Structure 1
């Protein structure tokens, strides 16, 4: 497995910050909204962030293929080492349109199906999450100060679970799952921030029983895993990115511990 350096993590963080600034240029003015083939919304900000990220990643010394939500057809597959960049230029477009701040820029480095590095930037909230294999997971506050983050660990028997759920994508299967979980408080949140809340210990679990794509989860999964948590399918397998030609994730649960 490749060694991810602090230098690379910082380079990717700067690229994500630049993309975040491009997003915010659009956020503060009137913008057009189009509709993709799958009926999901698309704004100028999605494309602007995509262009910044692809340009930045292609300028890095190590040439690695890029799979971006906004240009999936340009992706030719992982390189000889099984690596590729997985990018969601603007995750939470519905939240962007609502102007509630809960949207993110996401960049992950995948190797042989595993996210080795992840950067999640929430430009409107002025917060970011960084993680890399061997380096740990960190939250970056508005001041620029970086704090190591860690999952909370499984709640004690009989304790109330803190569950984070989608603000814009309710699922009919969720009520049944929550009933089996037991006592819980529900916290609604948009975009990949849901995974990051588990990573930083602000929530205990995030059940996603509805459709998502690889680029929605890759970067934040790296943050969760490096913070001591796990992201697994309903069958108990770690969520994998080994088949990028299949864009849709299975249903999954984010847990606040590795056990």
Structure 2
């Protein structure tokens, strides 16, 4: 494998190029109308989703080839149960937050993660409208890059549980999640669109907790892999409610169950409380 820092340098360049292209679509200056919306499994897919997927895949494959590296992208992954056999696998979400992109909230992101043995070792999350690119490598810390250069990021974990802010989605809400949120000891909430924007808000200390509950559907590998490493390398945690680590490029691309991301020293306690609250909900 090439040196991880060399891979990161190229991936950051790809991330910035993708962010620039995506802003063209967002601002309506790209040649194709991004609002040519189709629906896949009840989720919107735009021309921009497909164009960005092609752009990122072509740039990564040009740089790294197909022998040592595998590729999983939201827009090209056709089956729900297929593990890529390569040792190193790129997991890509070219447009995380398509609804926010369509609704012009600005809260959309680009996720690029490199996974080895089911765990991320490199991640880039670009937030085009903020003109920021977050990056991390396993054991190397988390950084945010702007036109002015890069700065290291580290979360703080000294708030009391009651003072923690939960970042929530403006959509994708259901009765189980509402019950859980209403019964947690932390009642402050901040609504943000894409997962990438939610997790980077935690890293930037604008929020403290993100919770995902699967229902009829679940987050996919490409929703979580890059944001997870960005958070954990900044000192946060991202686990299932039972404390188990997330795994990627397994036989199922869905991340079923309860997931909790936080910057809090109370992470394990929050996970236990979330499990207890859901047991109460099921017993109602």
Alignment TM-score > 0.5, same fold: yes
1:178 deviates by 2.6
Counterpart of 1:110 in structure 2 is 115
Q: 2:151 matched to 1:151?
A: no
Q: 2:172 matched to 1:169?
A: yes
Cα gap change, 1:180/1:105 in structure 2, threshold over 3 Å: closer, same or farther? same
* Rounded Cα–Cα distance in structure 1 between residues aligned with 2:3 and 2:108: 26
1:156 deviates by 2.4
- Checking the alignment, whether the CA contact within 8 Å between 1:67 and 1:84 is kept in structure 2 is yes
- Checking the alignment, whether the CA contact within 8 Å between 2:165 and 2:207 is kept in structure 1 is yes
Q: 2:89 matched to 1:90?
A: no
- SS of 2:63's equivalent in the other structure is coil
Within 5 Å, give how 1:29-178 maps onto structure 2. 29=28, 30-61=33-64, 63=66, 64-73=69-78, 77-79=84-86, 81=87, 83-141=88-146, 143-153=147-157, 155-156=159-160, 159-178=162-181
Counterpart of 2:253 in structure 1 is 247
* Rounded Cα–Cα distance in structure 2 between residues aligned with 1:154 and 1:167: 27
The structure with the largest helix share of the pair is 2
- Provide the TM-score with structure 2 as the length reference: 0.82
Counterpart of 1:27 in structure 2 is 26
Query: Runs of at least 4 residues of structure 1 off by over 6 A?
Result: none
* Rounded Cα–Cα distance in structure 2 between residues aligned with 1:51 and 1:76: 21
* Rounded Cα–Cα distance in structure 2 between residues aligned with 1:89 and 1:61: 18
* Rounded Cα–Cα distance in structure 2 between residues aligned with 1:25 and 1:132: 29
Counterpart of 2:274 in structure 1 is none
Q: Whose Rg is larger?
A: 2
Q: How many aligned residue pairs are there?
A: 253
Instruction: Say what the alpha-carbon RMSD is for the aligned residues.
Output: 2.1
- Unpaired segments ≥5 residues, structure 1: none
* Rounded Cα–Cα distance in structure 2 between residues aligned with 1:107 and 1:215: 8
1:4 deviates by 5.7
1:195 deviates by 1.3
Cα gap change, 1:136/1:4 in structure 2, threshold over 3 Å: closer, same or farther? farther
- Unpaired segments ≥5 residues, structure 2: 268-284
* Rounded Cα–Cα distance in structure 2 between residues aligned with 1:164 and 1:3: 37
* Rounded Cα–Cα distance in structure 1 between residues aligned with 2:188 and 2:133: 25
1:213 deviates by 1.0
- Provide the TM-score with structure 1 as the length reference: 0.89
* Rounded Cα–Cα distance in structure 1 between residues aligned with 2:252 and 2:13: 29
- SS of 1:248's equivalent in the other structure is coil
* Rounded Cα–Cα distance in structure 2 between residues aligned with 1:3 and 1:14: 16
